[in-house]
Structure 1
Amino acid sequence: MTRETTGKAYVVGVGMTKFEKPETRDWQYWDMAEEAGTAALADAGVPYTRVEQAVVGYCFQASTAGQRAVYALGLSGIPVYNLNNNCATGSTALMTARQFVEGGVADCVLALGFEKMSRGSLGGGAAAGDFSTSPVARHYGIMAARHGFEASPPTAQIFGNAAREHMERYGTTEVQLAAVGAKNHQHSANNPHAQFQDVYTVDEILAAKTVHRPLTKLQCSPTSDGAAAVLVVSERFADEHGLRDRAVEIAGQAMTTDTEESFASGSCIDAVGRPMSRAAARQVYERSGLGIEDVDVIELHDCFSINELLTYEALGMCEEGASGKLVESGATTYGGRWVVNPSGGLISKGHPLGATGLAQTAELVWQLRGQAGARQVAGARVGLAHNIGLGGAAVVTLLRKA
């Protein structure tokens, strides 16, 4: 069959499970995948028999777990692709689905992500000081050369050290870092899909257990179980199936990986991905013809509070070093210039690695359709998602109501 390439791809269905603390519910990854996938198909009003390809992302399950997951939706014999791109896995699945649609390979593709995790801190792939077998050996080596290697969780260390550098270089304060956590916990109180709905003051966040100074527990994303799914279709498919009223256009998307800039400075700020994020954002703005000034609502990768601040700078929301003042000003919450992480973000919504990027998309689609309930951003027309994984991959996606 010959397909016309339209150059456009649309999200017409989204779904996700509630994100939960590991071992809270007696379910397997295929159970959560079925729940999220079924919800996305129902949202679109499209049966699984119309799906032509499935792209499935996860980090901690065995090879071909994607097949086991989609078999719960149907046994149609379609190609199933299994992806692992660290914490950017979900957005990588979305990008792959978009490329299939834009390239004319398929008219209807399901992007699905899930994770069944273990309790406790994420290890990060490096034992104390031993980087030899870790995919992120170079990143941790940058950290160790400047800050040493301590007993705290490696991912918290590298981001905590990035926070220390930001404080030393720009005068960012612990109160400003805690303000990120306070904002996102406040937002999650209105999200029934979030792992946590508790609200905390800045003082309570500062007083929480220290994970790696200056980051406290309430500024760190938890391990989580959960799944999310997104149905991506061509313009032709949307028109033929009467889906325009619920379609959200993927107006621009880019993925970048580490360059020399990530390592040349010897700074954890660069090693954790600010240069990657900046480059991905620049590409998306150029390709879409939209800029940060056009964006209303943002879901970004706040794995730790410092990464939200670094991402403000990478996306062009403020000058380099001014992100602490930006969050403190109220510019990134309701009533401000943008609403960032209305879902609660990774810090409060949760972070099942394979699902995170797709859950960001689900939240933005609900926002752009006006379906976000008590957390709705008034008049939202353009949304931006940012998802990053060490190792490294940064994916930025611009969504626009069709």
Structure 2
Amino acid sequence: MPNDVFILGGAQSDFARNWSRQGLEIGDMMEEVVRDGLSDSQLNAEDIQCAHVGNFVGELFCGQGMLGGVLAQKIPEFRGLPISRHEAACASGSMAILAAMADIESGRYESACVLGVEYMRNVPGDKGAEYLGSAAWTGHEGQGVTFMWPHMFSELTLEYEKRYGIDYAHLGEIARINYDNARLNPNSQSRAWEFAEGAFGENDELNPVISGRVRRNDCGQITDGAAVVFLASKGFAEDYAKRNGLALDSIPRIKGWGHTTAGIAYADKITASAEQQLVFPHVNQAIQQAFKRANVELEAIDAIETHDCFAMTEYMAIDHFGITPPGESWKVIEAGDIAMGGRLPINPSGGLIGLGHPVGATGVRMMLDAYKQSSNQADSYQVANAKNIATLNIGGSATTTASFVVGV
């Protein structure tokens, strides 16, 4: 890393809230989470020198673009700051983080607010599915499909079945673990949900098919939510540490990052990897970039926050992290390694399945949870002695991939 980028704190909204039912707008969500984050981080709005907003489809769900201006409207102290908005579907929040890091690493600014936000529960489900489907190659793939992303990740399940074999029981176990973890998280969308015996199996009544090989409880949530983190240079972090009686080495920093982009078409990715060991080599490439920049190996990672828009996505992430050889993710699932208390917990927060998936906020939320875990502030879902946390955030059919290593 050319210059250290520290994480001073942040906040997330309660992902169980339905903001439209409360008569509140996307700007209200943005304002509340930024104010909460400033308070929790013991920062003043005047401490912030620039801001970056991650958002996917504000124009479609809310009819609202120009979200940098909305942020300045709702936080008057930010008026006059340089504020940018970033979009890469489900990886939008990570793109905002990368842009803020570049501002700090270059010396242009010493501190940054990174806000991810999505407001999604104000339209019927079929309309929401249509809006979210715009992250696929519109007019070229998935035509005639009602639910684009369950269809796409059913195709990924079929690809794994073709290459390696796959047992639905392992996908159901991924979902069950994420819901179990979410019960520990006071901000999770599903923390009060209950499931009947058999709800994570191939039971068409308790766990109906949504599309192909994807069942209801495999799916990440449609979520209203926002998350914010505050990033800083080493000099700013030193002053912050002195002001708050902290040791600088107790403040988590972004140790490494990776970012790759593939063509938008899912089928082209599959064709390109047909003779390779991994289904999505560019996903592994982003992870390895982050590890190399952080100067760590997988063995140094204490927990992972990964993209699980569907259980199949997490199954893919396991072998793409190198936790198992390609196609053998089932081994660590059966061994209990990825559950809380296991050798390498995945999604202690509950992930997108259990915690929730406000699309533009997810990358920022992952960064916030990596900060919490590595600074021992995750409370009820804390992984014991966690020092280094890896994240994996993907947009579209693994079109945009971002990975970070965060630690102290």
Q: Normalising by the residue count of structure 1, what TM-score does the alignment of the two structures yield?
A: 0.88
1:73 Cα deviation after fit: 2.2
Does the 8 A contact of 2:137 with 2:265 survive in 1?
A: no
1:329 Cα deviation after fit: 1.7
Residue matched to 2:13: 17
Per-residue CA deviation, residues 129-149 of structure 1 (Å, 9 max, x unaligned), is xxxxx66328964xx6xxxx6
2:284 corresponds to 1:289: no
Residue matched to 1:136: 136
Does the 8 A contact of 1:56 with 1:83 survive in 2?
A: yes
2:200 to 191, 205, 208: 205
2:78 corresponds to 1:73: no
Aligned length: 384
Residue matched to 2:61: none
Residue matched to 2:340: 334
Output the CA distance in 1 between the equivalents of 2:33 and 2:190.
Answer: 19
2:292 corresponds to 1:250: no
1:168 Cα deviation after fit: 3.3
1:231 Cα deviation after fit: 0.2
- The amino acid of 1:9's aligned partner reads V
Change (3 A) 1:135 1:155: closer
Change (3 A) 1:158 1:140: farther
Residue matched to 2:56: 59
Q: Which range moved further: 227-236 or 69-78?
A: 69-78
2:90 corresponds to 1:83: no
Mark the runs of 5 or more structure 2 residues left unpaired by the alignment: 59-63
The residue correspondences of 1:159-238 to structure 2 (distance < 5 A) are: 159-197=153-191, 198-200=193-195, 203-206=198-201, 207=203, 208-238=207-237
Does the 8 A contact of 1:15 with 1:37 survive in 2?
A: yes
- The amino acid of 1:314's aligned partner reads H
Residue matched to 2:27: 30
1:340 Cα deviation after fit: 0.5
Output the CA distance in 2 between the equivalents of 1:91 and 1:73.
Answer: 22
Q: Which range moved further: 342-351 or 70-79?
A: 70-79
Identity %: 26
Change (3 A) 1:199 1:290: farther
Across the aligned residues of Structure 1 and Structure 2, the Cα RMSD in angstroms comes to: 2.7
Does the 8 A contact of 1:273 with 1:388 survive in 2?
A: no
Mark the runs of 5 or more structure 1 residues left unpaired by the alignment: 128-133
Output the CA distance in 2 between the equivalents of 1:14 and 1:49.
Answer: 16
1:120 to 113, 117, 125: 125
1:306 Cα deviation after fit: 0.3
Per-residue CA deviation, residues 262-301 of structure 1 (Å, 9 max, x unaligned), is 726438999x983332110111111111121110111100
Residue matched to 1:388: 394
Q: Which range moved further: 324-333 or 170-179?
A: 324-333
2:329 to 323, 326, 332: 323
1:364 Cα deviation after fit: 1.6
Output the CA distance in 1 between the equivalents of 2:215 and 2:272.
Answer: 21
Does the 8 A contact of 1:14 with 1:43 survive in 2?
A: yes
1:72 Cα deviation after fit: 1.9
1:325 Cα deviation after fit: 2.5
Output the CA distance in 2 between the equivalents of 1:273 and 1:171.
Answer: 13
1:119 Cα deviation after fit: 4.2
2:96 to 87, 93, 100: 93
- The amino acid of 1:7's aligned partner reads N
Output the CA distance in 2 between the equivalents of 1:100 and 1:309.
Answer: 34
